[in-house]
Structure 1
């Protein structure tokens, strides 16, 4: 049986404070760290006992990793592994959405397994990481198919608002908010749980649904 998926947007990071997208791989802000504590107190107690979380997947960005480490210490201390996956990174190629070197991240975050991260990370020159509607939709289907094949009962994924909305779910995610999904008849179709439907688990997100791919360019603009 495919796992239940708990999708989380990272808490507020420095680039979110003043919309300064020139900050490279920004860490969490002070407010973001506080939001992680709200997430911690809200999500884990709500997870039904039968949804035993057995894996945490994170985008290999500082803000997603820090969100997981601060929000889910009980799971981590229980031995639930944290695995970084480049497929869950954010859409754009702006500085804030470009990750740090894989030569540096393992030393900074020794709790995280980076062994499965695409060796081209953080470069986004490959078509699968392009900022275009076809590439992002294909990447969304790819990561969902990966999850569908996994044997864990429940998996937490900490990712980014743009990718979660436009590439995976068609739902809005405020900083640190989460939504719970089950697969609905196949590896690329999700059905949201009643426990988060509407404004999300923390009640912070927009209720409106969007079409996958909405707002994305058909072809990546040349920024060179």
Structure 2
């Protein structure tokens, strides 16, 4: 049976104020948002949604959000279950702006030793060369990447997986819903049969998170790929990344 999914958007980062900053850190408000998320999840998840794996975009704002917001799982108290954290390039943001372009993996691995970077696509953080084409800012690339990460999740053995990613990619490439900073939504995979190999992976959202788990998200769905250009012309993308 495929896992239940908890999709979390990163908390406010410096680029949400000035978007030319490269791979920005969280703001003070973003750290406070992450602590609020942590308190909520500590009260909500145990016994209902026991997370087995945390997947993060390799971008700093997502790793920092996980470090604070899911810290009770990453570094649990004595006797608690320690949940592994794995970085995955497929969950990075869509544009090639400086704020949506990651840092070298070696630097990240030194700064965030609790994250397993060993399976990150070695082309990361490149998005603009032929090798980085799967991460290009185009509708076809974003939709293809969305299906790729869902295919990967669908085949995983864990029962509950938390993913910390970005508003643009989650909305346009994965689930078709808006996310506010440091809020989350819960999804199940739509049922598939053995004959559905060529059918896109689809998700069904929990009624409990239609306005976000913290109640801060818009309740209006969007069409996957909406707002993403057919072909990448310049390093550009959604401002709310």
* Unaligned ranges ≥5, structure 2: 76-80, 193-199, 236-241
Q: Which residue of 1 aligns with 2:55?
A: 57
- Where do 1:23-42 residues align within 5 Å? 23-42=21-40
After TM superposition, the structure 1 = structure 2 runs for residues 59-208 of structure 1, keeping only pairs within 5 Å, are 59-77=57-75, 78-124=81-127, 125=129, 126-186=132-192, 188-197=201-210, 199-208=211-220
Secondary structure of 2:52's partner? strand
Q: Is the 8 A contact 1:5 1:156 kept in 2?
A: yes
The list of structure 1 runs, each at least 4 consecutive aligned residues, that deviate by more than 6 angstroms after superposition, is none
- SS of 1:53 mapped into structure 2: coil
Number of residue pairs the alignment of both structures matches:
220
Secondary structure of 1:127's partner? Answer: helix
Query: Are 1:25 and 1:95, in contact at CA under 8 Å, matched by a contact in 2?
Result: yes
Alpha carbons 1:170, 1:211 under 8 Å: kept: yes
Q: TM-score, normalised by structure 2?
A: 0.89
Equivalent residues of 1:43, 1:201 under 8 A apart? no
* Cα root mean square deviation, aligned: 1.2
1:217 alignment counterpart: 229
Q: What is the rounded CA distance, in whole Å, between the counterparts of 2:178 and 2:139 in structure 1?
A: 17
TM-score calculated relative to the size of structure 1: 0.95
**Shift of residue 222 of structure 1?**
4.2
Residue by residue over 1:80-126, the C-alpha shift from the partner in whole angstroms, topping out at 9 and shown as x without a partner, is 00000000000000000000001211000001000000001001122
Q: Which runs of 5+ in 1 are unaligned?
A: none
Q: CA deviation at 1:47?
A: 2.2
